[in-house]
Amino acid sequence: MSDGPGIRKANTRYQSDIIVDMIKLYDFPAIPLNPGASYRGLHDSLVNYGENDPPMMLCNHEKIAVQIAHGYAKATGKPMPAAVHNVVGLLHAPLAIYYAYIDRCPVFVIGATGPMDEKLRRPFIDWIHTAHAQGSAVRDYTKWDYQPSSIHGVADSFARAYSIMMTEPQGPVYMVYDAGLQEAELTENVQIPSASAVKVPPRIAADPKLIGEAADMLLAADYPVLLTEYAARAPIGFDDTVELAETLGAPVYDINKRLGFPNRHPLNVSMHADAFKGADLVTALDVIDWTRGSHKPNWETREVEAITTPDCKWIDIGFADIEISKWATDYNKHHNWDMRILADTTNAIPALTAACKTRIQGDTKLVTKIKDRAQVVGEKHATQWAAWQEELKETWDQMPMHEARMAHEVHEAIKGEDWVLTAGTLKDWVRKVWNFDKPYQHPGRDLGTGTQFGISLGVAYAYKNTDKLVVDLQPDGDLMFDLGALWVAAKYEIPMLVIMYNNRAYYNDWAHQISVANKRGTDPDRAYIGMDLEGPAPDFAHIAKGLDWYAEGPIFDPAEIGPAVARGIEQVKKGKPALIDVITWRRGEAA
């Protein structure tokens, strides 16, 4: 029979249709995937029974499919599924799944396996593509995995997986569907949840008594510092943190896993060398990496020294050890906190602000103390900001160009646009030069090599069909992992402006080798071996053009960045992705 414009429907229903019903029930925006025969039944149901709504997004690698979903979640706070083909497809995806897990992003990974019923397996291929406990490959860095034994377990487990994924702290889940189950006819009525069913439980609220005690500690402190990591999560938390800081006149150190605080706000002391100097209380707002900023690492010896004094008090407000990894040590060093409040900061920060305001009201001495402290912090912020601008001037004429000059030139070219920066920060120089004053302007700093471009694609997809200009300051080594993914942006007309941060090297590792050489007394000039991307140097503009991008470069002269970016923006506004290849310096080379 036929239903819909030009779509020929099956004469009967299949069990994979129930999976599609669940996908539609949860209103996912798209399904990035790399195709595979293990979910051919589901694929047909998505295309024909489901009429490709939500639309599939063909990716050239499973890692990219998962990273697109990761980036979309970072930008919007909403989940996206990603489909990966049985054993071999799943084994392409672990890097992306792991980073989604440690970055606390909800990704609904849909997997498949060859038929568990041996009589349905084709010779060889279905045997090597079928695994017992297939989820064990990613079980250490997913919140949950499940493989329904029959169609009766599909709806229930799907709903449970969504709830687990979206309950804070969020993270990826993995659902496996037997190829035989998918392709079997649906011979009975299978109930799915109603659209009105509660999909996710409410956020964890803070204990009011503990909130009051924390407010007392904050107001008694002379120099309390607010440390934030995940308190801001699109679209929540950013303004709440600002209000708390302004209520207290307290400095804020933003770790930048998400954009947690305006970088030019006078209370922002992020990346300041003396940010924690004089602190008698640190309040961690949904923080895992509590040593960042408060501890000084020695690159050569790996030793870490605390900046805060031994008598500094510490308050932890967040999820404590909920969902702590059993495999990776992403949970950081244990800390002997003076107070811990188990709560979602979405609830806890406004409650803490309200408690502080109640205590401040009418206390003129406290009002004066807060005002004076805010002035001291503002002066510290202004001094550091001025120092960064002087450093920019000092590197202005350097050739090849310094990251600071590149950051300035790009900002000048885009500052009139409603821009969003995807991930890379040019060694934090954008945070020292640009103006981040809107919560959506940066979903968080870059992660490991081989992650940035895929996540950036997801961010750009989130803002497709809007007026926002999505900018990816793209490291060259990172893109070399994923060059084929340029095709995805062109095929699906995902408008994004990629500006290459191209130092023609895997330079982060090169810098580590220089540190080791300096410590051991060996020759740091030999650190480039096994690190440089020279001989040949990749021509990113040429490659991008071959995949139907607008592209220019390589650009060596900083003065050429602005005009090139302007031309790129013009193309992006027409719906075409654009790449501008900019060549930068490497530490240690002659200026």
* In a domain? residue 194: no
CATH code (residue 493): 3.40.50.970
Asked if residue 201 lies in contact with residue 165, where contact means CB atoms within 8 angstroms, the answer is: no
Parallel, antiparallel, or unpaired for β 304-306 and 295-297? antiparallel
* In a domain? residue 40: yes
- Among 121-125, 192-196, 497-501, 577-581, the minimum mean pLDDT is found in 121-125
Other C-beta atoms within 10 Å of 367: how many?
A: 13
Are 534 and 468 contained in the same domain? yes
Whole-model pTM: value is 0.95
- What pLDDT score was predicted for residue 491? 97
- What pLDDT score was predicted for residue 585? 87
Q: Which amino acid makes up residue 451?
A: T
Are 509 and 435 contained in the same domain? yes
564 vs 36, more confident: 564
454 vs 519, more confident: 454
In this model, does residue 4 exceed pLDDT 60? no
In this model, does residue 461 exceed pLDDT 90? yes
* In a domain? residue 80: yes
CATH code (residue 251): 3.40.50.1220
The whole domain housing 79 covers: 16-183
- What pLDDT score was predicted for residue 524? 87
The DSSP line for 508-543 is HHHHHHHHHHHHHT--GGGTTTTTB--SSPP-HHHH
How far is Cα 458 from Cα 444, in angstroms, rounded to an integer?
A: 13
Mean pLDDT of 300-309: 87
260 vs 121, more confident: 260
- What pLDDT score was predicted for residue 199? 95
- What pLDDT score was predicted for residue 160? 98
In this model, does residue 324 exceed pLDDT 90? no
Q: What is the SS3 string spanning 170-239?
A: CCCEEEEEEHHHHHCECCCCCCCCCCCCCCCCCCCCCCHHHHHHHHHHHHHCCCEEEEECCCCECCECHH
* In a domain? residue 125: yes
- What pLDDT score was predicted for residue 590? 41
How far is Cα 487 from Cα 492, in angstroms, rounded to an integer?
A: 9
In this model, does residue 209 exceed pLDDT 50? yes
Q: Which two tokens stand for residue 460?
A: 């750009």
How does pLDDT run across 398-426, given as a tens digit for each residue? Answer: 999 999 999 999 999 999 999 999 999 99
Are 380 and 399 contained in the same domain? no
Hunting for tokens 């999505």 — which residue is that? Answer: 470
Are 371 and 399 contained in the same domain? no
Are 80 and 225 contained in the same domain? no
How does pLDDT run across 478-488, given as a tens digit for each residue? Answer: 999 999 999 99
- Among 232-241, 252-261, 265-274, 286-295, the minimum mean pLDDT is found in 286-295
Asked if residue 459 lies in contact with residue 75, where contact means CB atoms within 8 angstroms, the answer is: yes
How does pLDDT run across 81-128, given as a tens digit for each residue? Answer: 999 999 999 999 999 999 999 999 999 999 999 887 888 888 878 887
Are 296 and 407 contained in the same domain? no
Are 244 and 269 contained in the same domain? yes
- Among 158-162, 366-370, 514-518, the minimum mean pLDDT is found in 514-518
How far is Cα 556 from Cα 500, in angstroms, rounded to an integer?
A: 12
In this model, does residue 397 exceed pLDDT 70? yes
The DSSP line for 256-267 is -SS--S-TTSTT
- Among 381-395, 543-557, 574-588, the minimum mean pLDDT is found in 574-588
* In a domain? residue 8: no
Are 54 and 101 contained in the same domain? yes
* In a domain? residue 471: yes
Asked if residue 106 lies in contact with residue 165, where contact means CB atoms within 8 angstroms, the answer is: yes
Q: How many domains does the chain have?
A: 3
In this model, does residue 589 exceed pLDDT 70? no
Q: Which two tokens stand for residue 409?
A: 């030139």
How far is Cα 162 from Cα 165, in angstroms, rounded to an integer?
A: 5
- Among 40-44, 295-299, 381-385, the minimum mean pLDDT is found in 295-299
Are 349 and 455 contained in the same domain? no
Q: Which of 384, 415, 449 is the last residue of a domain?
A: 384
How far is Cα 16 from Cα 394, in angstroms, rounded to an integer?
A: 62
Mean pLDDT of 344-348: 97
Are 351 and 232 contained in the same domain? yes
- What pLDDT score was predicted for residue 2? 40
Q: Which of 384, 407, 423 is the last residue of a domain?
A: 384
Are 480 and 508 contained in the same domain? yes
Other C-beta atoms within 10 Å of 189: how many?
A: 5
CA distances from 158 to 111, 149, 154, 196, 533 (A): 12, 13, 6, 16, 45
Are 345 and 421 contained in the same domain? no
3-state helix, strand, coil in the chain (%, to 5): 40, 15, 40
Mean pLDDT of 554-568: 97
- Nearest CA to 407 out of 425, 384, 421 is that of 425
Q: What is the SS3 string spanning 469-497?
A: EEEEEEEHHHHHHCHHHHHHHHHCCCCCE
- What pLDDT score was predicted for residue 587? 65
How does pLDDT run across 151-183, given as a tens digit for each residue? Answer: 999 999 999 999 999 999 999 999 999 999 999
* In a domain? residue 130: yes
Q: Which of 384, 403, 432 is the last residue of a domain?
A: 384
In this model, does residue 225 exceed pLDDT 50? yes
Q: What is the SS3 string spanning 37-71?
A: HHHHHHHHHHHHHCCCCCCEEECCCHHHHHHHHHH
First-to-last CA distance in the chain?
A: 71
Residue 3 — very low, low, confident or very high, per pLDDT cuts 50/70/90?
very low
Residue 212 — very low, low, confident or very high, per pLDDT cuts 50/70/90?
very high
* In a domain? residue 342: yes
Beta strands in 262-358, from DSSP E residues, in sequence order: 281-285, 295-297, 304-306, 313-318, 339-342
